[in-house]
Amino acid sequence: MSVLVGKRAPEFKAKAVVNGGEIVENFSLTDYLGKKNVVFFFYPADFTFVCPTELLAFQEKIREFESIDTVVIGASVDSEFSHWKWLQTPLKEGGINGVTYPLVADPSLMITKAYDVLAGEFLVDEAGELVFEGNPQAYRGLFLIDKSGIVRHQVVNDMPLGRSVDEALRIIDAWQFFEENGEVCPANWHKGEKGLTATQEGIASYLGRKA
Chain-centroid distance, C-alpha 189: 21
Pairing of strands 140-145, 151-157: antiparallel
Nearest to 101 by CA among 129, 68, 60: 60
Among 14-18, 104-108, 168-172, 201-205, which is the least confidently predicted range?
Answer: 201-205
Residue 91: pLDDT over 70: yes
The whole-model pTM stands at 0.91
CATH 3.40.30.10 domain extents, the chain: 14-162
Q: Read off the pLDDT of residues 18-27 as tens digits, 9 standing for 90 and up.
A: 999 999 999 9
At residue 202 the predicted structure's pLDDT band, cuts being 50, 70 and 90, is low
Q: Report pLDDT for 122.
A: 80
**Catalytic choice (4, 51, 144, 196):** 51
- Quick one: pLDDT band at residue 126, thresholds 50, 70, 90? confident
CATH classification code of 14-162: 3.40.30.10
Could you read off the pLDDT of 130-140 as tens digits, one per residue? 888 888 999 99
Cross-strand partners of 58: none
Distant-in-sequence, close-in-space partners of 133: CB < 8 Å, separation ≥ 6: 120, 121, 122, 123
Task: Please indicate whether residue 1 or residue 63 has the higher confidence score (pLDDT).
Answer: 63
Asked if 185 is an active-site residue, the reply is no
